[in-house]
Amino acid sequence: MPEIKVTPLGAGQDVGRSCILVSIGGKNVMLDCGMHMGYNDDRRFPDFSYITQNGRLTDFLDCVIISHFHLDHCGALPYFSEMVGYDGPIYMTHPTKAICPILLEDYRKITVDKKGETNFFTSQMIKDCMKKVVAVHLHQTVQVDDELEIKAYYAGHVLGAAMFQIKVGSESAVYTGDYNMTPDRHLGAAWIDKCRPDLLITESTYATTIRDSKRCRERDFLKKVHETVERGGKVLIPVFALGRAQELCILLETFWERMNLKAPIYFSTGLTEKANHYYKLFITWTNQKIRKTFVQRNMFEFKHIKAFDRAFADNPGPMVVFATPGMLHAGQSLQIFRKWAGNEKNMVIMPGYCVQGTVGHKILSGQRKLEMEGRQILEVKMQVEYMSFSAHADAKGIMQLVRQAEPDNVLLVHGEAKKMEFLKQKIEQEFHVNCYMPANGETVTLLTHPNIPVGISLGLLKREMALGLLPDAKRPKLMHGTLIMKDNNFRLVSSEQALKELGLAEHQLRFTCRVHIHDTRKEQETVLRVYSHLKSVLKAHSVQHLPDGSVMVESILIQATAHSEDPGTKVLLVSWTYQDEELGSYLTSLLKKGLPQAPS
């Protein structure tokens, strides 16, 4: 029985370094190739030695698919392709292809230039890696090879985020990457058709959360920012340069405009302007409203939001600063945080998920004394707020996607084990499908039951369809044919055609049975009696009285002869071929019972 095997190398009961191996229909596909933000050692990248110990990765993997540009989904890519060594195709959408190398370079800079790590991938490696990338359109069916095809669906998580369907023959799997089921201010909602995959691999970041209405969250956010600014405090919003940042910028921009506020809003790093430019050029990937109005007013041209300079952090007075990265684990956001943390007038708003080990995670879990590098203790007096603006589907959204795609099996990744457990039960209960949640390195094997496609000769099909137009549940019509298997070509043809094609002669098997009946009349009259009897019984069949004095029932011939010895007995010769076996046998037994006295 064919099977699908799935092994997470990362994101198995965890968030971070997403990397999932899928074997389907004899093809091996790697889904995402991310880094883990919680680690700085070997654990930050997936363990690629799992894939193959001594062979080349290129020989083993048919393709790599990257769902979106977040580093926990693509951060290990240059390491994987250039340092471990992979030369096969890497697929991602156009915006991902455009933005991914910039984030990788940023990541490299922080790691190598700031932290001084060696043995890390270089800028050249990022470039070489990107040369292996093939960009895909939404809904385009990409033929990876003769058998393996992939197709991207809109995921709405960040610009260019996609879900991917992987298909070999009639077996298929869908990997969601990260997705969002509710449209927001700049992106649309994830969408997939009823593609009924054998397996749906879905993220489950918010497996147990059902978020309140987005409007409330936004109002809350604006209120908190506004209050802090009013009392002269500074607001730090750690974000990743692309993604939530644009969403929150649009939100603040419109609010500032409406309230006519004067406090400055800054966006850190030079990445931002560039980032906004990407949004302008890839406007077709944003939501309907922005796409419709972009000619008149481009939502990504901000009036109130200015570029940030490091010196501004010490300026007196209120301000709002968007700074990267989003989990306060390094870079400018962390620097500003250290500066502002001691003042209770200030506020830090964490708008997204923080993985374990990051400063973001620590302060969100209530820690107020942080041990920084060099054993320094940082006391956090500023207000810490968490506001879920991550564009992940919540539990309701995940269920909605499962309903949309109608998979036979579901597999959860990119979430915490405890929460997954809960969602797993819910999915199994509601959809009656198997749900899996393998840990990293653990393999799940699913049996699939694909139908086998063959070609049927149109003559045979039409003949059968003409017969079986009204399907009768009680008595299903059987069709007969011969399957000719030559090389990999399977054709179902009528038996006659099969014989002809193979140059074989038909062997006719015929039966002739003698049925004795008592009848003193002449043979002709006997025949007439037989004829009317059969005519009345076999209403659905063709019964004919032929000029030569015989009776035909369909293709079965009945003749009457006199008995050689007994003039009161007539011998009916019933003759049929093997193909009419049932009817022939039935007729003989029917005639054996004798003829009714008065023809009815």
Partner 1 sequence: MKLYCLSGHPTLPCNVLKFKSTTIMLDCGLDMTSTLNFLPLPLVQSPRLSNLPGWALKDGNTFLDKELKECSGHVFVDSVPEFCLPETELIDLSTVDVILISNYHCMMALPYITEHTGFTGTVYATEPTVQIGRLLMEELVNFIERVPKAQSASLWKNKEVQRLLPAPLKDAVEVSTWRRCYTTQEVNSALSKIQLVGYSQKIELFGAVQVTPLSSGYALGSSNWIIQSHYEKVSYVSGSSLLTTHPQPMDQASLKNSDVLILTGLTQIPTANPDGMVGEFCSNLALTVRNGGNVLVPCYPSGVIYDLLECLYQYIDSAGLSNIPFYFISPVANSSLEFAQIFAEWLCHNKQTKVYLPEPPFPHAELIQTNKLKHYPSIHGDFSNDFKQPCVVFTGHPSLRFGDVVHFMELWGKSSLNTVIFTEPDFSYLDALAPYQPLAMKCIYCPIDTRLNFIQVSKLLKEVQPLHVVCPEQYTQPPPAQSHRMDLMIDCQPPAMSYRRAEVLALPFKRRYEKIEIMPELADSLVPLEIKPGISLATVSAVLHTKDNKHVLQAPPRPSQPPASKKRKRVSDDIPDCKLLKPLLSGSIPVDQFVQTLEKHGFSDVKVEDTAKGHIVLLQEAETLIQIEEDSTHIICDNDEMLRVRLRDLVLKFLQKF
Site for partner 1 in 357-416 (CB under 8 A): none
Q: For partner 1, which residue of 288, 369, 486, 547 counts as binding (CB under 8 A)?
A: 486
Is there binding between residue 470 and partner 1 (CB under 8 A)? no
Instruction: Please say which residue, 154 or 340, places its beta carbon nearer to partner 1.
Output: 154
Q: At what angle do helices 417-431 and 395-405 cross, to 10 degrees?
A: 40
Is there binding between residue 495 and partner 1 (CB under 8 A)? yes
Smallest separation (angstroms) from partner 1 to the CB of 280: 8
How does DSSP classify residue 17?
S
Number of residues that bind partner 1 (CB under 8 A): 90
Smallest separation (angstroms) from partner 1 to the CB of 508: 4
Alpha carbon 417 to chain centroid, angstroms: 21
Q: For partner 1, which residue of 210, 311, 377, 540 counts as binding (CB under 8 A)?
A: 540
Is there binding between residue 541 and partner 1 (CB under 8 A)? yes
Cα gap 398→125, rounded to integer Å: 36
Outline where 109-195 has alpha helix (H).
Answer: 123-131
Q: For partner 1, which residue of 392, 491, 529, 533 counts as binding (CB under 8 A)?
A: 491
Of residues 286-325, those binding partner 1 (CB under 8 A): 294-295
Is there binding between residue 170 and partner 1 (CB under 8 A)? yes
Is there binding between residue 169 and partner 1 (CB under 8 A)? no
Q: Is 203 a catalytic residue?
A: yes
Is there binding between residue 518 and partner 1 (CB under 8 A)? no
Instruction: Please say which residue, 482 or 550, places its beta carbon nearer to partner 1.
Output: 482
Cα gap 269→248, rounded to integer Å: 16
Is there binding between residue 521 and partner 1 (CB under 8 A)? no
Of residues 418-457, those binding partner 1 (CB under 8 A): 449-457
Is there binding between residue 593 and partner 1 (CB under 8 A)? no
Q: For residue 503, with 0-12 CB atoms within 10 Å meaning exposed, 13-18 middle and 19 or more buried, which class applies?
A: exposed
Q: Which neighbouring-strand residues pair with 127?
A: none
Interface mask toward partner 1 for 144-163; x: CB under 8 A: -------x------------
Interface mask toward partner 1 for 82-121; x: CB under 8 A: ------------x--xx--x--------------------
How does DSSP classify residue 470?
S
Q: Which of 149, 171, 203, 218 is catalytic?
A: 203
Q: For partner 1, which residue of 83, 195, 399, 499 counts as binding (CB under 8 A)?
A: 499
Q: List own/partner pairs for 278-282 with CB under 8 A and 24 or more apart.
A: 278/95, 278/98, 278/99, 278/159, 278/242, 279/159, 279/186, 279/246, 282/94, 282/95, 282/98, 282/159, 282/160
Contacting residues for 241 by C-beta, under 8 A, at least 6 apart: 103, 106, 269, 271, 272, 275, 324
Residue 22's nearest CA partner among 67, 55, 79, 54 is 67
Query: 239-252 burial by CB neighbour count: b if 16+ within 10 A, else e?
Result: bbbbbbbbbbbbbb
Cα gap 23→173, rounded to integer Å: 10
Smallest separation (angstroms) from partner 1 to the CB of 173: 18
Known catalytic residues are 203
